[in-house]
Structure 1
């Protein structure tokens, strides 16, 4: 509280009636009269190549006229650092005249310093000058500035001269101007270096964006700054790890380099098995990716993983469809939902005769001739159009009056062996088979051929271990039988299908395994 006898009210000031206009100038101004005049001159509308046309007085008169007319836009022509630059191609910065209710305060500072001591004494004096009725704000972004080079052999291009006359309202030049014939000399050599001679006039403006875009960027809440080694975050190290290779090729100077970067703790992890190419040299993967191997598994997933590993005691290579058909409907559906389990027991080939097949860790089919029985063969053909969503739902789950299908699914019986081809029945949704799953009596002898004339010394990316003519014989036999059964099934079901279904071609560019995984 204020002492007794003193007024505890704040001092009151009388606001002068002077009306002022404040200018938020888009640049630094030195506290000199020359700098102030130069800054005000840039607001003059007559800024151009004619010397002496722009002045501080004209700028103030122009601002007064804009306020009287109620205008809202002011142009600021920033001066160039080059004395010969006419600023014809320098677009002005646009400012806005907005109403304001601010107060203008003049602050004066006095400093005293004793000659024998480094002691400063400062005194500040405030003076209320008046109120601000309008403010000129330059909040828009400046456009790009570009000055074209004159063409070779002349000081200025005729089109640029016309542009200059239009900008400066040179009537005499416009009356005497004539278009010269184009020489079509668009490139010249100066000092042995070819340069452009187009003399392109810049556009009226480069950018349509005047105000900064509000990105509203916010850091991902699940990301945090972590210090990790360079080797664990580089793309090359992650790529070699996915292939099962070692990171010995990493430069020695980067192995121990620590970097700090944002790491997304909830990022999506690649749960697919390690994929290698048929042409890759070196040992095949012997263990899953460390990031997947370290993932915790539930008790149910541990049991599923054990059942998966038991299947590799039967054969070293499985297609996804053949592997899923070894389980019941409920077990197969659970395996599809836990895709990381496949990456814990096998790796895959990205191309070649065993493409997309699940191969046991440590087993290289490129070095074992017995692996030819696990090669995949893919058929193409026509199939009836698939039912609509409602029809597909009914075919899978039945209706209220026909629930036999849903009861069978809940009973947990084994899936039908759709991965096998016996030459008697065919499935519309399966077009990829492994040779060991083909049991047709007319095709089995072609698969089990032997001898140097039928097999290769090293596998081929297209035919595998088989010679080209032996592989073509297998493909022709399977294709003939497959399409014969497919056409017969199509003819039997045609009266029950839509008329337009016969004209729709289908081509399985992906394995049936992937389609089964998505069902």
Structure 2
């Protein structure tokens, strides 16, 4: 296969001149005459106002040269009127702003010649073009901003001089006597001419320096977080907050019933996700989580955190389901505070339920309380009631972590090395103000134990229920009612009782029923 016919005819090569040029993208028409070019250069002159006559093309070129030497970035263009004659009324025609930008263009000149000849009595034209390279342009002045509105005063009837122009001249010359003597003409509502068809303005005030100049969008230099990138994830793996912040282009995929839909959003690759324990719904079928999230398992832990992790695993091996409070109470005050600050340790050893009788409880990986009837002792019971706040405490944090010294940093941290109080236990005799949620295995009141350990066919179910768990409705209501009466009796008296039976009997005698319900 031979070479193409044009391969032997290379393109002509020429050397680029070393001349450095300045190019201007002029926002108007320029004819191929010297007068038109001169008027275009005059419009780039910085001279304005009453000194319009001083503007010239030479002065404009000198101004542009000085502007480039100073590193200026803005050039004003005052387009002349249609007639080309300077008019004082064009004073409020604001200039168009241009930007001085770097450029790497090549400036060429196009020569056109038209050959004419007569052939058989007909005129034949032939055009010939020739391109001449003048040099490279390193700087370009371009006018791409939106032009401002123009205001041209109209001479009022029976007036020798426009009042707006007169006031402008007085202020420009700083004539104090003329300022005192100036009077505004009375406002007239003659907005139409004599024929009543043409509108006119009788504004006698100086217009603002700018009406509505729309600049180019400001470049803030915004850069996306280098560790964030667009990633496509499934709808089921995103939280409610993530779904609200999803991109608008994927809003049609945000269907609550379609967990397999995909959304595209920015994700921070350097952030450890899923730091909270995996939440499982009670009604979900399938196996429970057996290990932590793969990404979370790669997190580097300190020696102290590894020690906490081993202690958490030990407690979960002894008891598969813990409430967060009961698990924290197995540590000292200082250790519990450290665990709260590193909550990802809980996600490394347990998962949790989002609803049902074991809601918010920490469950050991691989253990499913829905398959083991013995897990009924780990069910939670929540009592609603406003506990009286002790006047010497500052809230739940102090009740949880012990008293703090008020003497500043110099005072020792009293109680940090001590064990936390067993606030997760309910014995029916001592009031507990810091919590109103208990697990059945943590209720030690003798009067309540027979109800909790009941095993009759009318007390238990063959399959757990989302409300009552492994207990029947009647058995669960009996447990909850008894615990609630004892609990609220302790809150009302705010002191230890002799026996749980007396607390229940006093509640029944006073008619103080359980006004609280299980928080589903």
**TM-score, normalising length: structure 1:** 0.53
CA distance in structure 1 between the partners assigned to 2:221 and 2:518 by the alignment: 41
Q: CA offsets, 1:37-84, max 9 Å, x none? A: xxxxxxxxxxxxxxxxxxxxx97259966x7342245xxxxxxxxxxx
What does 1:314-333 correspond to in 2, within 5 Å? 314-333=318-337
Q: CA deviation at 1:508?
A: 12
What does 1:217-236 correspond to in 2, within 5 Å? 218-223=222-227, 233-236=232-235
Whose Rg is larger?
Answer: 2
What does 1:186-197 correspond to in 2, within 5 Å? none
Q: CA deviation at 1:454?
A: 1.2
Q: CA offsets, 1:204-236, max 9 Å, x none? A: xxxx9954554725223432769xxx8xx4224
Partner of 2:131: 122
Q: CA deviation at 1:407?
A: 3.2
Partner of 2:305: 301
| Counterpart check, 1:382 vs 2:381 | no
| Counterpart check, 1:396 vs 2:403 | yes
Q: CA deviation at 1:238?
A: 3.7
CA distance in structure 1 between the partners assigned to 2:362 and 2:195 by the alignment: 81
Q: CA deviation at 1:453?
A: 1.0
Q: Are the structure 2 counterparts of residues 288 and 63 from structure 1 closer, same or farther at C-alpha, using a change threshold of 3 Å?
A: farther
Structure 2 counterpart SS, 1:418: coil
Q: Are the structure 2 counterparts of residues 260 and 460 from structure 1 closer, same or farther at C-alpha, using a change threshold of 3 Å?
A: closer
| Counterpart check, 1:428 vs 2:433 | yes
Structure 1 counterpart SS, 2:284: coil
Match of residue 60, structure 1, among 76, 79, 82: 82
CA distance in structure 1 between the partners assigned to 2:275 and 2:351 by the alignment: 12
Match of residue 451, structure 2, among 443, 446, 449: 446
CA distance in structure 1 between the partners assigned to 2:293 and 2:237 by the alignment: 10
Q: CA offsets, 1:170-206, max 9 Å, x none? A: 968xxxxxxxxxxxxxxxxxxxxxxxxxxxxxxxxxx
- What's the C-alpha RMSD, in Å, of the aligned pairs? 5.2
CA distance in structure 1 between the partners assigned to 2:329 and 2:306 by the alignment: 20
In the alignment, is the contact (CA less than 8 A) between 2:322 and 2:361 conserved in 1? yes
Partner of 1:479: 484
Partner of 2:205: none
In the alignment, is the contact (CA less than 8 A) between 1:98 and 1:136 conserved in 2? yes
In the alignment, is the contact (CA less than 8 A) between 1:397 and 1:405 conserved in 2? no
In the alignment, is the contact (CA less than 8 A) between 2:233 and 2:264 conserved in 1? no
CA distance in structure 1 between the partners assigned to 2:466 and 2:358 by the alignment: 9
Partner of 1:466: 471
In the alignment, is the contact (CA less than 8 A) between 2:351 and 2:363 conserved in 1? yes
Q: CA deviation at 1:288?
A: 0.9
Q: CA offsets, 1:334-360, max 9 Å, x none? A: 222221111111110001110010011
**TM-score, normalising length: structure 2:** 0.53
CA distance in structure 1 between the partners assigned to 2:457 and 2:482 by the alignment: 22
Aligned length: 336
Q: Are the structure 2 counterparts of residues 385 and 215 from structure 1 closer, same or farther at C-alpha, using a change threshold of 3 Å?
A: farther
Structure 1 counterpart SS, 2:335: helix
Partner of 2:504: none
In the alignment, is the contact (CA less than 8 A) between 2:333 and 2:415 conserved in 1? no
Stretches of structure 1 that go unaligned for 5 or more consecutive residues are 1-9, 23-57, 74-95, 113-118, 127-131, 143-165, 173-207, 241-248, 493-506, 512-519
Match of residue 415, structure 2, among 402, 408, 433: 408
Stretches of structure 2 that go unaligned for 5 or more consecutive residues are 1-19, 22-34, 45-79, 102-106, 114-127, 136-140, 150-190, 198-211, 240-258, 498-515
CA distance in structure 1 between the partners assigned to 2:85 and 2:237 by the alignment: 63
In the alignment, is the contact (CA less than 8 A) between 2:426 and 2:438 conserved in 1? yes
In the alignment, is the contact (CA less than 8 A) between 2:431 and 2:490 conserved in 1? yes
In the alignment, is the contact (CA less than 8 A) between 1:272 and 1:339 conserved in 2? yes
Match of residue 377, structure 2, among 373, 387, 399: 373
CA distance in structure 2 between the partners assigned to 1:141 and 1:460 by the alignment: 72
In the alignment, is the contact (CA less than 8 A) between 2:96 and 2:145 conserved in 1? no
